[in-house]
Amino acid sequence: MLIVQKFGGTSVGTLERIEAVANRVIETKNSGADVVVVVSAMSGVTNQLVEYSEYFSKHPDGVATDMLLSSGEQVTTALLTIALNAKGYACVGLTGAMAGIMTDDVHTKARIEKIDTTRLKAELKAGRIVVVAGFQGIDDKGDITTLGRGGSDLSAVALAGALEADLCEIFTDVDGVYTTDPRIEKKAKKLEKISYDEMLELASAGAKVLQNRSVELAKKLNVKLITRSSFNHNEGTLIAKEDNMEAVLVSGIALDKNQARVTLRGVVDKPGIAAEIFTALAHQNINVDMIIQNVGHDGTTNLGFTVPQNELELAKETMQKLSAAKHVEYDDAIVKVSVIGVGMKSHSGVACLAFETLAKEGINIQMISTSEIKISMIVDQKYGELAVRVLHDAYKLDK
Ligand code: ASP
Ligand code: MG
């Protein structure tokens, strides 16, 4: 039995917490399982490091930035290793590079390309607990890379996949996946199980339990995930294939505050314009989410799209270089609210209830997008939390 256990920033936020994590890992080791532990930086550390670099430059050098950011996870890895050793357990701490995690060279958002498991397997075979620094790897030049914010989840899932682990447990400071953020709606309930696809939508729609790329990868590699708290022994939420569970109509409501809207007015309505705009954004690695284009009028049209708030500056710079984008408006006082459930595939009318519910509260919907299992709506940020609460009620998620 091989278990990968990942501990997030708050779980390792203090020396006492790191000691508690060591004890938790020991419990698992004593149960007879081999354990690979993946750790995040102590909470707040990565933000602090980002701030340090921004003191000097808005767009700091990628190689240097990754050297800086990756240090946070290395501190935790070393401390947990020292703690486990001190408790009499054979343990080795590895950076991403030492663990064989190879990535492309897109600094600060690198993708894992492959994992050379030779060292990992040898350490496990020797009976050692292996602690790996999350969020990082190495490119083929030998430069340290990082995987994007929240990337330690991705490290854990990738390692679980490469090592064919029986289970990947993601420890955080919440008990699992809830029908919505309990800080916004007190009546939110913990879900026992959820499908990869729903989790994917919840994560990409802003439910911050798991990083979305890690869920995509878990689905692809069929890694069984459990997300649970490191602060208690409550059972968490299992994330697995959909056919293992009965389809509920709506499983959750998500709120994504990290959104900004870009609106291009009077865009020439001819073939190739959308391609030009979105190719330019793609070249900057900007993640465009929702897109709407109006029906053209007098040879021009309006085009709106959303990007992550922290990529808005780069989007602005990109738009300024495009002749197609003459009149551009930017709005970062918006949020995305999403209703999610696999049951929507086979039921109609699910969206109507969402629209009616927001209308009743006088909340204007600025953009809408739908998929088989999701309805997303952009609304003014001051109504975001209210929208979550009324939708949670409307779909009876507290029942
Ligand atoms: N420390 C990194 C971050 O804060 C990676 C992680 O915690 O997953 O984004
Ligand atoms: Mg994190």
Residue with tokens 């009149």: 327
Please spell the DSSP secondary structure of 253-300, one letter per residue.
EEEEEEEEEEEEEEEE-STTHHHHHHHHHHHTT-----EEEPPPBTTE
Q: What is the pLDDT along the chain (399 residues), one digit of tens a residue?
A: 999 999 999 999 999 999 999 999 999 999 999 999 999 999 999 999 999 999 999 999 999 999 999 999 999 999 999 999 999 999 999 999 999 999 999 999 999 999 999 999 999 999 999 999 999 999 999 999 999 999 999 999 999 999 999 999 999 998 999 999 888 999 999 999 999 999 988 876 656 678 888 999 999 999 999 999 999 999 999 998 876 556 668 999 999 999 999 999 989 888 998 999 999 999 999 999 999 988 888 889 999 999 999 999 999 999 998 887 789 999 999 999 999 998 888 787 889 999 999 999 999 999 999 888 999 999 999 999 999 999 999 999 998
* Residue 13 CB less than 6 A away from ligand 1: no
Mutate to test the pocket of ligand 1, among 42, 108, 135, 136 (most ligand atoms within 8 A of CB): 135
User: Looking at the CA of 41, which ligand is closest?
Assistant: 1
Residue 155 Cα: closest atom of ligand 1: 8
Distance from the CA of 146 to the center of ligand 2, in angstroms?
A: 13
- CA gap 346, 298 in Å, rounded: 40
Token pair, residue 161, equals 């996949």
* Residue 152 CB less than 6 A away from ligand 1: yes
Distance from the CA of 395 to the center of ligand 1, in angstroms?
A: 33
Confirm if 376 and 336 have CB atoms less than 8 A apart.
Answer: yes
* Residue 151 CB less than 6 A away from ligand 1: yes
Distance from the CA of 55 to the center of ligand 2, in angstroms?
A: 23
| Closest to 174 in 3D by CA, of 133, 102, 231, 247 | 231
Instruction: Please list the helix, strand and coil fractions of the chain in percent, rounded to the nearest 5, in that order.
Output: 40, 30, 35
- Position 249: which residue type? L
Going by CA atoms, what residue is nearest to atom 6 of ligand 1?
A: 150
Q: How many other CB atoms are there within 10 angstroms of residue 82's CB atom? A: 15
Burial 101-111 (b: 16+ CB within 10 A, else e): bbbeeebbbbb
Read off the pTM: 0.80
Distance from the CA of 255 to the center of ligand 2, in angstroms?
A: 18
Distance from the CA of 251 to the center of ligand 2, in angstroms?
A: 24
Token pair, residue 147, equals 């995987």
